[in-house]
Every structure is written in structure tokens, then in C-alpha cells.
Amino acid sequence: MIQEQNVNIKKILYATDLSDNARHVFAYAVSLAVKYSASITMLHVVHETPGFADRSVAGYIDAERWEQIKKRHLEDARQALIGKRREHLAIKEVLEQFAEKIRNSEEASKFSFDEVIVEIGNPVELILEVAENRNCDIIVMGKTGQGLIEGALMGSTATRVVRRSKKPVLVVRNPD
């Protein structure tokens, strides 16, 4: 006989990669939030330049010039993300508009948004850090299908989060 455990979810971390699957995954986060009258924190991580990119440009330009280029692009991304560059619709602004649309829906009275966070860095590290620092009870994220070789070499963000998280993780596969 299975003992019934008291599951108490009050804070949900919804980690989104802004893929086509993201809305499907978000439906699960909202469903949990409504069921438990929980709040949702929305997180998107812009992946930093991986180390292999550093090695691949080494033969073309010197390391100092490459660091300058990376810093300039990182600053451009930061400016776009925080909305200081008017010519770009910042990711954070898009996510906040999406959150506002949900706030105005029927289900909105049954849960709330804590905040919308956009960070630059390693997605796995930042998802785990935000979940811990914001005292989230569960992480909800998507998993896109990937080829065998890609999965073996790199592993997916979702797989690495599941392996390392101290919190429960709901991974929603792409329905396609």
C-alpha cells in the first residue's frame, strides 16, 4: 500500500528556452499553479559562448581581440535584454507581456507570477541557482527531442537539471 504524502507546492520555477514547445510546457506549470494555488517564477537563460567556440576562432584572431568581441556582444545582449536598446523587442519584455496576458486570464485568480527573470550564463547552473535562491518547490521545463549522438556528447539541459537538482523536476516532452 502506498502511503499518501502531503505534496505542498507554493512556488514553481518555469524554465523556458522560448522554443515552440514552451507554451505546451507552460500549460503544465499553470496547471500545477492552479491546482496548488502556487506562484510561478519564469526564467529564461541566454546561453553564454561555449568554450569550443573560443578554440575554434583561435586560428583566425588573437585571444585579446576575441575577448573584446565577446564582451561587446555580451553587452549588446544585456542591453537588449534589459530593454535599453529600443530597436530590439527584448526577451524580458516579451516574457513580461506574456505573463501579463496570463494575469488577465480566467486562471489568473488561482495563481500568481512572482517575477520574470532573464539571465546570461550556463542554463543548468542558473536554473538550479534560481530554484534554490527563490525557494521554489518544483522546476517545470521542457525537453526537446535530440539525436543519439548529440544526447551522448552534450546531454540535454533537462537531463542535467534532473540529475543535479535537489528539487523535484517536471520535464515535459515536446508533443511532436
pLDDT at 77: 59
Q: Which of 47, 50, 118 is nearest to 88 (CA)?
A: 118
**Residue 96 backbone phi and psi in degrees, to 5:** -65, -40
Domain spans of the chain, in order of start: 1-48+89-176, 49-88
| Domain over 1-48+89-176 is classified CATH 3.40.50.11610 | no
In this structure, are residues 118 and 81 in contact, taking their beta carbons and an 8 Å threshold?
Answer: yes
Burial group, residue 152, by CB count within 10 angstroms (0-12, 13-18, 19+): exposed
Which residues does residue 16 pair with via DSSP β-bridges, in sequence order? 44
pLDDT at 19: 78
Q: Which three cell numbers stand for residue 28?
A: 503544465
Q: What is the DSSP letter of 58?
A: T
H/E run at residue 47: strand 39-47
pLDDT at 131: 97
Q: What is the mean pLDDT of each run of 10 residues along the chain (176 residues)?
A: 76 88 87 90 76 54 69 63 44 69 63 80 93 97 62 68 95 83
Q: What proportions of the chain, in percent to the nearest 5, are helix, strand and coil? A: 50, 20, 30
